[in-house]
Chains A and B, each alone.
Chain A
Amino acid sequence: MSTTSIRVNGKAPAAPAVGAGIQTPVLAPPVWVDENPSLRDITDDIARPLEARPGKGWYICFGIAFAALLNLGGMVSYLFAKGIGIWGLNNSVGWAFDITNFVFWVGIGHAGTLISAILLLFRQQWRTSINRSAEAMTIFAVMCAGLFPAIHMGRPWDAFFIFPYFPNQRGPLWVNFRSPLVWDVFAISTYLTISLVFWYLGMIPDLATLRDRALGGIKKFAFRLLSLGWNGSQRTWARYEIVSLVLAGLATPLVLSVHSIVSMDFATSLLPGWHTTIFPPYFVAGAIYSGFGMVLTLLIITRSTMNLQRYITLRHLDKMAKVTMLTGMIVSYAYLTEFFAAWYGGNLYERYHFINRATGPYAWCFYLMVLCNVVTPQLLWTKKARTNVTFLFIVSIMVNIGMWFERFVIIVVSLHRAFLPSGWGMFYPTIFDIGILVGSFGLFFTCFLLFIRVLPMIAMWEIKGVVGHGAHKMALSSDEEEVTVNA
């Protein structure tokens, strides 16, 4: 927590008069919004994109994103018509862009829940400016992620086979509970459900605000429906906050479990380069790293295009950069550990794999990954770097690229030279591999751009707790309560 942001009222909290019981030291309300806007200003500012016509920038972005989405639709239709032979996959490399994209998007989806759930439990108030959009990002990223397992199948029309469904007409057929792909189905669908519920629940007070502001018509009707009769009473708020806490508690293990399970797709296999016990924590760190990278990318764009600099401040960016740096270093450590284990373990195949990773035909991918994921986070040690918006934007893009290549390296480089040298082969992407990757970004950004047009992208009710109006106390997020209880 940045010290500059804490304004201390009264006496220093460092020396509470224990046992005096008269004077309760009270912490200043946290301030995470610049320029001291009034509560009304906040509501106006955040509701503006929803009520005004969008600017040219939005239309250009949406046009590009939607074109990419159309491209995705076309390419996926062609894929279904012809078969996945249109991709560059082959007998040696059975997964490439498809599962790389899947893991990449699942990883992106990690920041949202981490911010909403774990930071909520850790009482990190700076999350209030970014949690809503991060959660939205999570949902859209998981949607993109979910696309790939479905379309990567040889027979996507039978995709429902991987759900345990009952009763089924296929006799006593059941899914294979030993297969990590089935675990994925459970993990991802649970994660999506919880994220969606959490996101929606968090929006209800804001939806009620929007309902109250709406002039009528469909908008009013829709917000009325969505706000579930929110009346803002004391009781409502009390229950609401308890539910938030419970959901946060439920979601927290998911942040760790989803990518752990995704990593088991690889870790439980035999393949050198995949068969590694370090994968679950390594993947979780990588996911948070990439998630924060993507949040940074999105927020740096939106704060400037939507004029939200006062809500998403440089201090927020600084915080996110710190998380990025930390997780980036965990990831770097994991890379080192992998190489160490390959050398120290003495396994012939694994040792070859890691030599090949660094010197083989895909070595450039590996070095790009090292550049983006090992070198780049090291640039964030200085505060100057962490508060330079342009620099941070470049870093965030590097993080995204690096993390995509990390998955590509893990998947393709491991597969292309496995146990029997007779089965070795190279993977070269086709136009459809690249087109569908681009298309998934189209899907993601189309959803995100629509989101910022129709729903409040900052949690109004939450941010009002951190604007520095002393009267407003937050049960969940202020440090004050703790002190009071102690007293």
Chain B
Amino acid sequence: MQTENADAMKQHFTSVENSMNHSGEGNGAKGHCKSPKEHLVQIGGPDVPAYWKSMEELENGPRYKGEFPGGLPSADARQETTRRDFLAAMGFTLAAAGLAGCRAPVQNAIPLLVGSDEIIPGVANFYATTCRGCASSCSLLVKQRDGRPIKIEGNAESTIFGGGTCATGQATVLSLYDDERLHGPLWHGKPASWQEIDQHIADTLRASEGSKREIVLLSGTTNSPSTRRIITEWQKRYPNFRHVEYDAVSLSAMRAANAQSFGRAVVPHYAFDKARVIVGLEADFLGTWLSPVEFARQYAANRKPEGVPALHVQFESGMSVTGSNADVRVAVPPSQLGLVVVALLRRIARKAGTPPVAGTQDPIEAKKLDAVADELWKHRGESLVVSGSNDISIQLVVNALNSALGNIGKTIDLVQPSMQRSGDDAAMADLVAKLQRGEVHTLMMHGVNPAYDYPEPEQFLAGLEKVALSISFSDRRDETSSHAHVICPDHHFLEAWGDAEPVESHFSLAQPLIAPLFETRAAQESLLKWVGHGETDYYNYLREFWSTDIFPRQKETKNFDAFWERSLQDGVVAVPPRPTGAMPKDIMQKFQADGKAAVDKIFSEAAAHGSTTGDHFEVHCYETVALRDGRHANNPWLQELPDPITKVTWGNYAAIAPSVAKKLNLSDGDVVKLTAGKRQLELPVFIQPGQDTRTIAVALGYGRSQVGRAGQNVGVNAYPLTSIQGEYRRYFAGNATFEKTGRTEKIGTTQTHFSMEGRPIVLETSLEELHKAAEPEEETVPTLWTERLHGEHAWGMAIDMNSCTGCSACVVACQAENNVPVVGKDQIERIRIMHWIRIDRYYSGTEEEPVSVHQPMMCQHCQNAPCETVCPVLATTTSSEGLNQQVYNRCIGTRYCANNCPYKVRRFNWYNYTENPQFDFNMESPLGRMVLNPDVAVRSRGVMEKCSLCVQRIQLAKNTALQGERELADGEIQTACQQSCPTQAIVFGDLKDPNSRVSQMQRNQRRYKVLDELGTRPNVSYLKKVRNPLETA
């Protein structure tokens, strides 16, 4: 299906363009006007064979020529013109003349004159592409309905990402329909044509030739091999050209550490699924770090309680998604993190009998460190230590530790490294210096926003003033692009061709899902044009590149067209790795750096921060699951996504430990002035259990001053708190103080109570108990209701809470699939969020060391539904297939059902959230509404809504099966939440089929139903969370 699509789509769009051109012309020009691209039109082309009806016709041509066979009936016998005829003729002439003067107004509707057999109205197509939400480059399958991409799903063909997505990836489809995107290129802030701009840029570039001043392309991590090839074209053409990669949140130190340790400046490819012991050090690998979708999948697969679950120990300052899933989580301030690694290395060195490591101090309880070291040592070669720190000393010691444990080449792959982060802090700092010295002639900026996220944006902007030409490829006027001379807006990735190489030799292709909505142009095309390359069409260039560079590396097919089409259809291709050249594998496993120096450095650094006591704190800056580095700030779905840990939406805050709050008499929402060095921020306080007592955590990505209506000035920009220390960016600040301002600010949180109050809501079990116990005792609650007889199916769901990491991809997936409106901060404060699925997060244990659980909660589809009996108008009923269904037309909005729902999963439309200026989010703008799923009704005000278990997907699959005259197969229907889940924690299926996965899960020893004792008989089951704590005897 997808094979021809790439071409067909392109053709389709061209034909649409053509027909649009014709539609205005009138007078039937279609037949004559020969468009140069007309050969592309497949159907109804000029080569239709002429059929003949008889021999006579074949010889003499058609019997009748002209419009009327047999001629017109003879005109009136009287040839004279009567008064009536005259008036009639005059009337006609006048009318005709008048009408000819009026042009039919050009409508926005696009006439589809030439239909495509690919596009059937009402039937969705899926195309494989590559996500550009961040540099992780996950493989996607995008649902296109009636020419519009409306839903992003993971591509199960990918061996790396395996069909899951993250919340950000799910939301990128909405960014496509962001009406704050530029509608065309800007020259000095004014709209201009591409030709003019190309001309200007060509002139300027020509002028730079021979000059010593550099031409610089500043981009984010660029792992598109074809784009990298274009960059080499520039290097060939302009000797003064330089490419600088800059990540707002970078792994620069790790790359440098690997260069020193193993001779390769790469980010390794980690295998969390091969590790029996995972030690994370300030690395939120399940939430935001490097490649969370991939890691979450590996992690969950590795922690199935049915086997032997891997042990996970996390050392971090703020509570992250990863920390909330760890078996052991230890709060450590960022400056003391290095000491933890050194302490672990010292213990491992002692066990291994290698030269002892300096120092004796343990930053945390020695018992814990002993236990962790024991576990690591026990699982040598099957363990993994990862650190998200951007401190090269820490990364070097981590490398030494992994090397001592023999993990290199086992759980850490340097031969086929990850290409997902390649920003270089030193190069960026160097660029800023050069800019300030006026050594840069032309600066091209792609996918970066240093005026917002560079620690010293003033310096960058001052330097930017000095370039002869600054070009931004940004899709909007942002903090940086508004200072650029030219903005050449790049396509959204769903409009563009492209490729990516997230992991060495694992390629993935991107294809457009829609013709560009605006007058944007692929950045690659611009770069090809300006460099004067012969091929300026990026699609042709890409195809050419693949035929010369990637096609020869595979052996499966000899035909490039077939290879191309299959790659496009699958979206992913893996080829044998590149030869490592002079770097043999075994050398790469030996730690070659100066570990001792690094240890000493760590000691001195830690000592420098050691004075952080009393009123002084460290500030830890982190990315959130929703906004990441801030580039998605104008996406209302992401702004409204509750943080997996704090459940806060629309803004950031200073997370402080409960004991600190008590000591300083602070409560949630008190605005404090945070001073770190010369930087000051004012932001509200949020009390976070598990937060390190010496650290304040502040999220990055907020406080955008120029991004669009939704994200403008939401929260506070924390990037100024980061700094450049030596060659690396540091994401924490020491010696920070804060004082109360006396103001309070409301924090829009969706869950205000975090204790389960001893209620049996999330049930846990231990590994021993699980292996000991046999079948769970069957306990049926007596009921007054008659047994409900199911029809052909009984739909149900099972959620494995041991797999759920709380990453919240399902929440955005559900929002996209089910047209769930965005309501804004004010409504969230009023507890009126509309999400159909929420992830409840509860803490147990102490405030200092809380144990967290994540519980996805949606309509439980009770068989004895409390909502159903109380509705006065039968607007909610249970279907014969076990679905609790809400009938919007019938609902009068008494809210009785919501009051009686023990799970509180019903959502009421307090206002009209569509086409209401009060809610100026995506459903207010006509462009934003293009993301709506036509299969799901948009709800009006005053009606109740809730999870339908994606009834539209069930219906579609049933119809497809019916048309194919076959039985529905298990797994054929995937709900949106299930599809997006990277850990496959959610399983949907038919409970009537005893062999379906959901039935098997509902028979699992761990299964239980929430609030089952009420007799609601939900069709959704949960599998207990299994605790496997590390014994620290």
Contacts and interface: CB of A to CB of B under 8 A. Distances in A.
B1010 to A, nearest CB: 8
B39 interface: no
Given A94-B908, A421-B754, 8 more contacts: A85-B832, A154-B891, A154-B944, A159-B892, A161-B892, A352-B757, A420-B1010, A422-B857
Interface string A70-107: 00000000000011110011111111000000000000
A94 B867 CA distance: 13
Contacts of A426: 752, 831
5 contacts: A89-B895, A154-B944, A162-B892, A182-B872, A417-B753
A91 B903 CA distance: 11
Contacts of B101: none
B910 interface: yes
Nearest to A428: B830
A93 to B, nearest CB: 8
A180 B940 CA distance: 26
Interface in A121-164: 149, 152-156, 158-159, 161-162
A173 interface: yes
Closest 10 CB pairs of A and B: A154-B893, A154-B942, A423-B904, A85-B910, A94-B895, A422-B840, A90-B831, A155-B942, A181-B872, A425-B831
Interface stretch (A41-49, A58-66, A267-275, A444-452): A267-275
Interface string B883-904: 0000000111111101110111
A157 to B, nearest CB: 9
B958 interface: no
A268 B907 contact: no
Contacts of B906: 91
B400 to A, nearest CB: 44
A176 interface: yes
Contacts of A153: 892-894, 942
A175 B842 contact: no
A415 B827 CA distance: 19
Interface in A296-321: none
B866 interface: yes
A419 interface: yes
A94 B895 CA distance: 6
B896 A181 contact: yes
B871 interface: yes
Given A162-B872, A271-B899, A422-B838, A92 B904 contact: yes
B900 A269 contact: yes
Interface in A172-227: 173-176, 178-182, 185
Contacts of B752: 424-426
Contacts of A415: 899
Nearest to B755: A421
Contacts of B761: 420-421
Contact of A179 (B838, B870, B907): B870
B759 A83 contact: no
B834 to A, nearest CB: 9
A162 B875 CA distance: 11
Contacts of B873: 161-162, 175-176
Interface string B936-955: 00001111100000000000
A154 B912 CA distance: 11
Given A83-B910, A153-B942, A176 B759 contact: no
A463 interface: no
Nearest to B1010: A420
Given A270-B1014, A421-B753, A348 B759 contact: yes
A162 B753 CA distance: 36
B249 to A, nearest CB: 30
B895 A95 contact: yes
B937 to A, nearest CB: 15
A268 B751 CA distance: 28
A179 B895 contact: no
A320 B756 CA distance: 48
A367 interface: no
B874 interface: yes
A285 interface: no
Interface of A: 82-85, 88-95, 149, 152-156, 158-159, 161-162, 173-176, 178-182, 185, 265, 268-271, 348-349, 352, 415, 417-426
Contacts of B755: 421
Contacts of A348: 758-759
Contacts of A180: 870
Nearest to B904: A423
Nearest to B906: A91
A179 B869 contact: yes
A88 B829 CA distance: 11
Given A421-B756, A422-B751, A179 B872 contact: yes
Given A176-B873, A421-B755, A84 B896 contact: no
B842 A422 contact: yes
A425 B898 CA distance: 14
Point out which of B752, B899, B907 has the most chain A C-beta atoms below 10 A from its C-beta: B899
A91 B908 contact: yes
Contacts of B866: 269-270
Contacts of A92: 831, 904
A187 to B, nearest CB: 13
Contacts of B911: 82-83, 85
B900 to A, nearest CB: 5
B908 A419 contact: no
Contacts of A265: 896
B278 interface: no
Contacts of B23: none
Contacts of B1010: 420
A467 B185 CA distance: 96
B1011 interface: yes
Given A154-B891, A270-B902, A419-B902, A175 B943 contact: no
A76 to B, nearest CB: 15
Contacts of A417: 753
Given A155-B943, A419-B1011, A174 B874 contact: yes
B909 interface: yes
Contacts of A349: 759
A154 B895 contact: yes
B854 to A, nearest CB: 11
Contacts of A90: 830-832
Contacts of A175: 872-874
Nearest to A154: B893
Contacts of A352: 757
A176 B874 contact: yes
B296 interface: no
B833 interface: yes
Nearest to B887: A173
